[in-house]
Structure 1
Amino acid sequence: MARAGLTTERLIRAGAELADEVGFEHVTISALARRFGVKVASLYSHLKSSQDLKTGIALLALEELADRVADALAGRAGKDALAAFAAAYRDYAREHPGRYAAARFRLDPETAAASAGVRHAQMTRAILRGYDIAEPDQTHAVRMLGGVFHGYVDLELSGGFSHTPVDPDESWSWIVDSLDTLLRNRTTP
């Protein structure tokens, strides 16, 4: 019989907290069992495997991040929307580094299609409509923004900017300004 109070949702939330503490790559069923002071076997009635746990954490993180980005974008357009979008991602990553890593966890296509990841793409495309960017350039721009924002955040979280005298916030503002300029002045070759 499962220990009272343990549910799949509670385990996934605890796994997300653990990811923020020790890193997403170190989250396992065993580590979660130690956190609750139970035997690993008692968790298998709620989670099939560490893969199942990581998928749950990824889905939770995508949902939390999508909600945060949606709140940040409300009532904004153009550069203001772009800056709010970027800041929401960066702030979430700083506050929840393990969950942020989980949000980039590779999901199977069916799970991914039903996840909040779809909302992220829709919100990115909504920002780009403000720049009057049509397909296929819109898809290129979605990928560019994702690459720039995720790449910068990954470098920042790993300490990649700690050895330079320029403030990372200054670089972040410069990047957002540059992206805005590029998107406003984009012409199709």
Structure 2
Amino acid sequence: MAAPKNERRGLDRAAVIRAAGDLADRDGFDALSVSAVARDLGVQPASLYSHVRDRAAVLDGVQEAALGELADLIAAETAGRADRDALAGMIGAYRSFAREHPGRWAALQRPAAPSTSGSEAGARLVSFTWAVLRGYRLPEAELVHATRFVGATINGFLALERAGSFSHRDPATETSWARAVDVLDRALGDWPTEAAPADAER
């Protein structure tokens, strides 16, 4: 007797989420559904419900997996580097990930559930990010603020770049990206070490 398709394909939750991420990269994050993933895997949707509860679970799974994949890329791009070189490696990893995995990148733009932000993948991403920022000798209390600043800069640049907003004017976008790295490096190197007035008043 032939094995059921899901057994023959060795389906498990990781395989389903991986297929969902590939589908999101190809067709867009909004195209994700249990039936679409099942169709890509060549199985019936009912075959997936033993691995993922519903569409929300698929979206959360893709987001958590993307956190881990981005963390791995940052680790590789910052290994053995420090200061500006480490910063350039880290934000370059974000840019490469967004370009190569647009659907997975879109997953990272949605609000994360507590279980996702508190996952091992999320913790690793924070750990690698803070390792780079600690190279600038920032006070521990400032790491969250600096992370938000760097993240806002990266996300803003990548969103405008993806929308084609930089494509009608010289010089090349790569020059602007290098300038952004320089400015972030200087800002982090001159980061305020005392609490802002709003914080001090609380």
Tell me if TM exceeds 0.5: yes
Residue 100 of structure 1: which of 101, 105, 114 is its match? 105
Q: Distance in 1 between matches of 2:16 and 2:59?
A: 11
- 1:178 to 2:183 alignment: yes
Point out where structure 2 has 5 or more consecutive residues left out of the alignment.
Answer: 195-202
Q: Distance in 2 between matches of 1:30 and 1:162?
A: 37
Q: Is the 2:116–2:122 contact (alpha carbons within 8 Å) kept by the matching residues of 1?
A: no
Match of 1:82 in 2: 87
Secondary structure of the 1:92 match is helix
Q: Distance in 1 between matches of 2:60 and 2:5?
A: 21
- 1:36 to 2:41 alignment: yes
Superposed, 1:22-61 pairs within 5 Å as 22-61=27-66
Q: Distance in 2 between matches of 1:3 and 1:74?
A: 39
Q: Is the 2:28–2:103 contact (alpha carbons within 8 Å) kept by the matching residues of 1?
A: yes
Residue 72 of structure 1: which of 71, 77, 81 is its match? 77
With over 3 angstroms needed to count, the CA separation of the structure-2 counterparts of 1:104 and 1:118, relative to structure 1, is: farther
Q: Distance in 2 between matches of 1:110 and 1:35?
A: 27
With over 3 angstroms needed to count, the CA separation of the structure-2 counterparts of 1:2 and 1:69, relative to structure 1, is: same
Point out where structure 1 has 5 or more consecutive residues left out of the alignment.
Answer: none
The Cα shift of 1:183 comes to 1.5
The Cα shift of 1:2 comes to 6.4
Which protein has greater RCO, CA pairs closer than 8 Å, 6+ apart?
A: 1
Larger radius of gyration: 2
Q: Distance in 1 between matches of 2:76 and 2:28?
A: 27
Q: Distance in 2 between matches of 1:71 and 1:3?
A: 34
Match of 1:142 in 2: 147
**Count of aligned residue pairs for this structure pair:** 189
With over 3 angstroms needed to count, the CA separation of the structure-2 counterparts of 1:116 and 1:3, relative to structure 1, is: closer
Q: Distance in 2 between matches of 1:29 and 1:160?
A: 34
Match of 2:130 in 1: 125
Q: Distance in 2 between matches of 1:112 and 1:129?
A: 21
With over 3 angstroms needed to count, the CA separation of the structure-2 counterparts of 1:93 and 1:24, relative to structure 1, is: same
Percent identical pairs in the alignment equals 42
